[in-house]
Chain A
Amino acid sequence: MRALDHKLMRDLWRIRGQAGAIALVVAVGVSLLIMMSGMLQSLRETRVQYYESYRLAEVFAPVTRAPARVIERVADLPGVAAAEGRIQGAALLDMPGQALPVRAIALSLPRSMEPRLNALYLKEGRFLSAGHMDEVVVLESFARAHDLALGDHLTATMQGSRRTFQIVGFAAAPEYLFTTAPGEFVPDDARFAALWMHEEALAAAFDLKGAVNEVLIELERGANAQDVLTRVDHLLDRYGGQGAYERKDSMSDRFISEEISGLVATSVVVPPIFLGVAAFLLYIVITRLVQAEREQIGLIKAFGYTDFEVALHYFKMVLVIAVVGAAMGCAIGLWGGRFMAGLYQSVYHFPFLVFRVEPSSLVTGVITSILAASAGGIFVLRGVFRLTPAVAMRPPAPMDFSRTGALNNRLRRWLDQPTRMVLRRILRNPGRIGGAVLGIAVGMGLSSAQMSVMSGFDDTLDLTFGVIDRSDVAVSFFEPMPAATAYAMAHLPGVIEVEPMRSVSAVLRNGRESYRGSVTGLVENARLNRAVRKDMSDITMPAQGIVLARALADTLNIGPGETLRVEVLDGRRPVIEVQVAEVAQTLLGAPAYMRFEGLNRALGEWGRVSAVYLRVDAAEMDALYAALKEMPTVAGVTQREDARAAMQKLMDTGAGAMRYVMAAIAGVITFGIVYNAARIAFGEQSRDLASLRVMGFTRGETSYVLLGELVVVVLLAVPLGIGIGYYLSFLIAAGFSTDLYQIPTGFRAEAFGFAGVAVLLATVISGALVRRDIDKVDLVETLKTRE
């Protein structure tokens, strides 16, 4: 077989352009497979390990004030394996050199520094030393974002009193894989901090001596979480329990779960597309090769090689391409995975996130690609088997186009001969043309869908920060304030307009559907933060009833006119029944709105304000911040521009970055198919093309015959690609949309236009490459050879 192997190497070298293109498509498919399966595995395992090692609670039960001894009673409840209590409270940090105070959560640590649940991963420095009430351990990601060093001092305002702490350690915690300030959706390392301090220090600050305001619970193996929640709520009710919730409902865990399910969706859909395309390309390329080498095949068989040996020879070619592609894919996948892990690490704060691929994943990748390639090759080998030496050695009969003649009479009148040649070739090979059309369309669909989703994200930002929230600054208070205090903020420097808002945590229930969120009270004709309809018109807050965000109405399966049960978790915790008045268009979060006065009335409080939205003269922003910093009642200040920038950053990293990668590699498929289609057409027709040149057809006229087919393929593929992309964008958007944020979809002309232009560009480049070959054709040589 050595001679045949020499032939194999030379053949591969001869078709290196095409073989390389196919190997590249295989490589992309395999690399995505490896990257995504590895990433998924790494994320899942790391999360589990991290949660377990640092004993992250499975149930969180916030409470107003519970005596410390309640913890033991919670621990005794059926289904509870362990319980721990802690104190947590809002703090505002005055960062040197920064106009805006930073929101923080302060958390208590027991004297042992080793809480039963929710332990800390100390990354630098040390834990708090006994008796030093002014020491603090800071969340490492925040420290890094602000270039804090051990020994630095932090000034924090808690419950209106201002204290200075010394930083002794930097830590990470599994409950802050993802840091978002309460009530915000956007993670931002710089704008939210977690601080750990002595229990006694916090108890003093929040007036909780001998008490806790959060109970952490670990479940027994196999315990029913829902039952435990019910029991815990019942037990804590008299202490002002605010509703226990599971770990999976915590913001940090929810974000990472969304990320994982997004990855799963993509890893199931995308790599098979690439491998399918590779199989198709191999099929057409090897078919062409076998056609062109029929004489050689006959000759080899005449020498006495068996059908099997000859078939194996061609199969080896398929194998070499598949294996080279798979090897490249493994390398790219490993490299890409590391790169991706780095991206994830910048958003999620795992103590470690090592991109690790099981050897079995690599094996699966290689085997899958070989199987896919073989599927393409197997049809061709049938042809090799069928070819007898006698038939093979005879010159091939001209390709039979007689079956395509039917259109002839109708077309005759208005088609010239070159156009007929193009059309007949298309009609004669509908399968191959269809395959190429489908392949290009899928590639284009994939990239346009990804781009649609990307611009959908932009719409989410525009709607949220341009239409719904038109304030410059939002200021929230530790405790609901009297309205008069809130309106007094109009006198602060630079404030042009003040709009009050009331917000309470609540569980919204409709039959068996429920959602843990909040209800926002807006003034009747809100201007700075408002609810809007789909057509962007204002929704006037109704005197009665509640307005739900689309995502929330969908989650609760409820519509206008139906009654919703609202279980308020703050204050006296009233339960109210309220009619759904309208459904609002929102893309970020899942808010529920009521009239400001109506919500307060339901709460049995009058004129209380949780936060105000301000419109501010930009020139006086710094003066305003300075004034806000001095106000002990202020819990947080959010600048709209910062929130928007943080959101944008989130979209551009992690899974967001993946979308750019996908769009780019979808381009690779498109080019691979277009180029191969052009090359095959050229291979089959080079003699016809030379004949045309000899007959006096110009280069342009000759190229028309060759590239006409390509143009038809592309013209068919583009509308199909738009259709595929349109529907695919709904799928992808649905996969990425959550109750945290929704991605609007629709026909996005710019995405489809861009993808279409990319396909046309690939066509032009392929056409130019092949056209160069037409120009190089040796007329004399081509005409003398038989095929």
Chain B
Amino acid sequence: MTEEHTFRTEGLTKTYGEGVAAVHALRGVDLDIPRGEIVVLLGPSGSGKSTLLNILGGLDRATSGDAFFESDNLTEMSDRALTRYRRDHVGFVFQFYNLMPSLTARENVELVTEIASDPLGVEEALSLVGLEERMDHFPAQMSGGEQQRVAIARAIAKNPTVLFCDEPTGALDSTTGRAVLHVLNDVNARLGATVLIVTHAAATASMAHRVIHFADGAIREVVVNETRLSPDEIEW
């Protein structure tokens, strides 16, 4: 385990249910994710990519195998420790934004900075996503793209070691989607956070440093992009 790796997994499996009804979501995944990269997990529905993301994000537990975050084994952590891990290191961006409707954009971000150990400034985080003008609006007063950008600002405001994005552009049109990918690209470049993106959209893969193809709960192929495209150049 070197310091260059954010995550490393060994023989990671995840099975839902038992006996004949058992569903093998992950069948022994071995993986290294280097620090500071944008990594895209690609694959059809049910291929296990979201399950992997959830385990690495501390939301779910593996059935067997190990998953290391830096030098800590996530599979051995208590619930409390996993909460701590999410609080200190992890930023999440979801397909449906999951903003608190009762808090303004600024307050949604503050929600995270209040509990983080080394947060960015709230205004800095919001200007990173280009929303400094809309800080005092409630989610109901914003478009889907704007809401997703607030969600990203909220995720990065804690200055996370790693940023998890589950279908971040899934609910957005191409223009807004591109803008969101730009923001993710910027965050990676400026903060050095490792960014993991789960998506169906193969096109997104062209902006990643590394693309991991999933099928049937296992890694089929890992592709390292020699040249990365800017989000503007991506075919939607």
- A residues neighboring B (CB under 8 Å): 395, 397-402, 404-405, 408, 416-418, 420-421, 424-425, 428, 687-688, 691-699, 701, 779-780, 783-784, 786
Could you mark each residue 79-98 of chain B with 1 if its beta carbon is under 8 Å from any beta carbon of chain A, else 0? Answer: 01001111110101011101
User: How distant is the Cα of A399 from the Cα of B140 in the complex, in angstroms?
Assistant: 6
User: How distant is the Cα of A697 from the Cα of B83 in the complex, in angstroms?
Assistant: 7
Closest to B155 in A: A695
Please name all residues of chain A whose beta carbon is closer than 8 Å to the beta carbon of B154 when the two chains form the complex: 695
User: In the complex, are the beta carbons of B94 and A783 less than 8 A apart?
Assistant: yes
Could you mark each residue 39-77 of chain B with 1 if its beta carbon is under 8 Å from any beta carbon of chain A, else 0? Answer: 000000000001000100101100000000000000000
B118 is an interface residue with CB less than 8 A from chain A: no
Please name all residues of chain A whose beta carbon is closer than 8 Å to the beta carbon of B102 when the two chains form the complex: 399, 401, 404, 420-421, 424-425, 428
Please name all residues of chain A whose beta carbon is closer than 8 Å to the beta carbon of B96 when the two chains form the complex: 395, 783-784, 786
B29 is an interface residue with CB less than 8 A from chain A: no
- The listed residue (B92, B95, B98, B140) touching A400 by CB distance below 8 A is B140
Closest chain B CB from A692 CB (angstroms): 8
User: In the complex, are the beta carbons of B99 and A687 less than 8 A apart?
Assistant: no
Known contacts A400-B138, A405-B136, A417-B110; A697/B99 CB under 8 A: no
Please name all residues of chain A whose beta carbon is closer than 8 Å to the beta carbon of B139 when the two chains form the complex: 398
User: In the complex, are the beta carbons of A405 and B86 less than 8 A apart?
Assistant: no
User: How distant is the Cα of A428 from the Cα of B57 in the complex, in angstroms?
Assistant: 34
User: In the complex, are the beta carbons of B87 and A416 less than 8 A apart?
Assistant: no
User: In the complex, are the beta carbons of B104 and A694 less than 8 A apart?
Assistant: no
Please name all residues of chain A whose beta carbon is closer than 8 Å to the beta carbon of B120 when the two chains form the complex: none
Please name all residues of chain B whose beta carbon is closer than 8 Å to the beta carbon of A694 when the two chains form the complex: 57, 59, 86, 92, 98
Please name all residues of chain B whose beta carbon is closer than 8 Å to the beta carbon of A420 when the two chains form the complex: 102-103, 107
> Could you pull out 8 A-B pairs where Cβ atoms are within 8 angstroms?
A398-B147, A402-B137, A405-B104, A417-B108, A421-B102, A696-B83, A696-B85, A784-B94
> From residue 90 to 145 of chain B, which have CB atoms closer than 8 A to chain A?
90, 92, 94-96, 98-104, 107-108, 110-112, 114-115, 136-141
User: In the complex, are the beta carbons of A780 and B60 less than 8 A apart?
Assistant: yes
Known contacts A399-B101, A399-B140, A420-B103; A693/B111 CB under 8 A: no
User: How distant is the Cα of A398 from the Cα of B137 in the complex, in angstroms?
Assistant: 12
Please name all residues of chain A whose beta carbon is closer than 8 Å to the beta carbon of B108 when the two chains form the complex: 417
User: In the complex, are the beta carbons of B98 and A687 less than 8 A apart?
Assistant: yes
Please name all residues of chain A whose beta carbon is closer than 8 Å to the beta carbon of B110 when the two chains form the complex: 417
Counting chain B CB atoms within 10 Å of each CB, the highest count among A408, A694, A695, A701 belongs to A695
Closest to A404 in B: B102
User: How distant is the Cα of A398 from the Cα of B104 in the complex, in angstroms?
Assistant: 12
Please name all residues of chain A whose beta carbon is closer than 8 Å to the beta carbon of B92 when the two chains form the complex: 694-695
Closest chain A CB from B17 CB (angstroms): 14
Please name all residues of chain B whose beta carbon is closer than 8 Å to the beta carbon of A696 when the two chains form the complex: 83-88, 90, 112, 115
Closest chain B CB from A677 CB (angstroms): 17
- The listed residue (A397, A408, A417, A699) touching B111 by CB distance below 8 A is A417
Known: A697-B115, A783-B94. 4 other contacts (CB 8 A): A398-B139, A400-B101, A401-B102, A783-B166
User: How distant is the Cα of A408 from the Cα of B136 in the complex, in angstroms?
Assistant: 10
Please name all residues of chain B whose beta carbon is closer than 8 Å to the beta carbon of A424 when the two chains form the complex: 102-103
User: How distant is the Cα of A395 from the Cα of B50 in the complex, in angstroms?
Assistant: 23
Counting chain A CB atoms within 10 Å of each CB, the highest count among B84, B99, B114, B115 belongs to B115
User: How distant is the Cα of A487 from the Cα of B127 in the complex, in angstroms?
Assistant: 102
Compute the total of residue contacts between A and B using a CB distance below 8 Å: 100
User: How distant is the Cα of A76 from the Cα of B195 in the complex, in angstroms?
Assistant: 111
Please name all residues of chain A whose beta carbon is closer than 8 Å to the beta carbon of B85 when the two chains form the complex: 696
Please name all residues of chain B whose beta carbon is closer than 8 Å to the beta carbon of A395 when the two chains form the complex: 96
Closest to B102 in A: A424
User: In the complex, are the beta carbons of B140 and A695 less than 8 A apart?
Assistant: no
Lowest 9 A-B CB distances belong to which pairs? A696-B87, A400-B140, A398-B101, A696-B86, A424-B102, A398-B139, A417-B111, A691-B98, A399-B101
User: In the complex, are the beta carbons of B83 and A693 less than 8 A apart?
Assistant: yes
Please name all residues of chain B whose beta carbon is closer than 8 Å to the beta carbon of A418 when the two chains form the complex: 111
Please name all residues of chain B whose beta carbon is closer than 8 Å to the beta carbon of A398 when the two chains form the complex: 99, 101, 138-140, 147
Please name all residues of chain A whose beta carbon is closer than 8 Å to the beta carbon of B136 when the two chains form the complex: 405, 408
Please name all residues of chain B whose beta carbon is closer than 8 Å to the beta carbon of A416 when the two chains form the complex: 114
Closest chain B CB from A182 CB (angstroms): 71
User: How distant is the Cα of A397 from the Cα of B101 in the complex, in angstroms?
Assistant: 9
Please name all residues of chain A whose beta carbon is closer than 8 Å to the beta carbon of B141 when the two chains form the complex: 400, 402
User: In the complex, are the beta carbons of B59 and A698 less than 8 A apart?
Assistant: no
Closest to A417 in B: B111
Closest chain A CB from B173 CB (angstroms): 15
Closest to A705 in B: B100
Please name all residues of chain B whose beta carbon is closer than 8 Å to the beta carbon of A408 when the two chains form the complex: 104, 136
Please name all residues of chain A whose beta carbon is closer than 8 Å to the beta carbon of B90 when the two chains form the complex: 696
Please name all residues of chain A whose beta carbon is closer than 8 Å to the beta carbon of B114 when the two chains form the complex: 416-417
User: How distant is the Cα of A19 from the Cα of B46 in the complex, in angstroms?
Assistant: 37
Please name all residues of chain B whose beta carbon is closer than 8 Å to the beta carbon of A421 when the two chains form the complex: 100, 102-103
Closest chain A CB from B18 CB (angstroms): 18
User: In the complex, are the beta carbons of A780 and B54 less than 8 A apart?
Assistant: yes
User: How distant is the Cα of A248 from the Cα of B99 in the complex, in angstroms?
Assistant: 72
User: How distant is the Cα of A269 from the Cα of B154 in the complex, in angstroms?
Assistant: 53
User: How distant is the Cα of A784 from the Cα of B115 in the complex, in angstroms?
Assistant: 24
Please name all residues of chain A whose beta carbon is closer than 8 Å to the beta carbon of B112 when the two chains form the complex: 695-696
Closest chain A CB from B225 CB (angstroms): 28
User: How distant is the Cα of A402 from the Cα of B84 in the complex, in angstroms?
Assistant: 32
User: In the complex, are the beta carbons of B103 and A397 less than 8 A apart?
Assistant: no
- The listed residue (B57, B87, B95) touching A697 by CB distance below 8 A is B87
User: How distant is the Cα of A420 from the Cα of B80 in the complex, in angstroms?
Assistant: 25
Closest chain B CB from A588 CB (angstroms): 58
- The listed residue (B57, B80, B138) touching A402 by CB distance below 8 A is B138
User: How distant is the Cα of A398 from the Cα of B96 in the complex, in angstroms?
Assistant: 11
Closest chain A CB from B79 CB (angstroms): 8
Please name all residues of chain A whose beta carbon is closer than 8 Å to the beta carbon of B137 when the two chains form the complex: 402
Closest to B96 in A: A786
Counting chain B CB atoms within 10 Å of each CB, the highest count among A405, A425, A701 belongs to A405
User: How distant is the Cα of A417 from the Cα of B111 in the complex, in angstroms?
Assistant: 5
User: How distant is the Cα of A400 from the Cα of B54 in the complex, in angstroms?
Assistant: 30
Please name all residues of chain A whose beta carbon is closer than 8 Å to the beta carbon of B100 when the two chains form the complex: 417, 421, 688, 691
Please name all residues of chain A whose beta carbon is closer than 8 Å to the beta carbon of B54 when the two chains form the complex: 780
Closest to A697 in B: B115
Please name all residues of chain B whose beta carbon is closer than 8 Å to the beta carbon of A783 when the two chains form the complex: 94, 96, 98, 166
Known contacts A696-B115, A697-B115; A401/B98 CB under 8 A: no
Closest chain B CB from A288 CB (angstroms): 16
